[in-house]
Amino acid sequence: MNFIPDFRRPQEIYPDSYWFMIHEQKIIVLSDSGTITIPRHINLEEFNIKSDHVQYMGAYNDVSCYAAEIESTENLPVCLSMHPPLTLLNNLDTDMVRLSGLAGQFITWSRNHRFCGKCGGLTEDKNDERAKICTSCGQVYYPRLSPAIIVAVTKGDRLLLACSPRFRSQFYSVLAGFVEPGETLEECVKREVKEEVGIEVKNIKYFGSQPWPFPDSLMIGFTAEYESGEIQPDKKEITDACWFKKDEIPGIPSSISIARRLIDWFIEGGNH
């Protein structure tokens, strides 16, 4: 994705700027003759829309991107509608879905840090970095980022896929989990696999990463090989887990996710 994050607002708002407007975690999009797009600045002027908690996001293909909160949707014109970003994968290109998630991340952070957690004072945007600073005590708050590992575990010509009640719909995917304080990424991979399905893994290798701003994760992908143990789903995070050959892979996640990239890597014959 050709997106360059930046907290410094351009001197002027250009008419073609994208406005990722958020209301209660949903993105507001423009529908025109069946086509859904992210509104531009010129549309906001046309509809006389007022927004709150504006954050400059950066530039996508050299076009400015803003995140903003719409607190009241009472007077929105009918051509604007609200959707959870991930439900728009069939309507918007994946970059726009990811940027919609990122806008939601900035807005949630901005809204949740209006006051200082240390002294209760008012905060304001810091002018030399993406942060908020308390106007009373000077405490600085950065956007939260939650690192999580995601791992494709293989055993010969088979891949471990699991089913979780956390998943939006009934499909199988690779294992994932949040990194704990004090833990290396490799230790996290071993712990999550052991906790969720009861097996040991070896040969843990870095695969790639992906921001996952739904709401604030950074997914760090790995591949690993089965070492020992029998699969025993923990029945909380994981309700079922099995080894699948590449021609047996069941319903899997959408192509926007690194989970899908890991599964595709396996199907395409990935090996260590």
- Are 123 and 109 in contact, with CB atoms under 8 Å apart? no
Nearer to Zn ion, 126 or 194 (CB): 126
Nearer to Zn ion, 1 or 140 (CB): 140
Minimum CB separation of residue 122 from Zn ion in Å reads 9
Minimum CB separation of residue 229 from Zn ion in Å reads 49
Minimum CB separation of residue 248 from Zn ion in Å reads 56
The three-class DSSP label of residue 100 is helix
Nearer to Zn ion, 118 or 168 (CB): 118
Nearer to Zn ion, 79 or 137 (CB): 137
Distance CA 189, CA 195 (A): 10
Minimum CB separation of residue 132 from Zn ion in Å reads 10
Question: Exposed, middle or buried: residue 114 (CB in 10 Å: 0-12, 13-18, 19+)?
Answer: exposed
Tokens of 160: 């471990």
Tokens of 35: 């086509």
Minimum CB separation of residue 147 from Zn ion in Å reads 27
Which residues form the interface with Zn ion (CB under 5 A)? 116, 118-119, 121, 134, 136-137, 139
HEC secondary structure over 1-62: CCEEECCCCCCCCCCCCEEEEEECCEEEEEEECCEEECCEHHHHHHHCCCCEEEEEEEEECC
Nearer to Zn ion, 117 or 250 (CB): 117
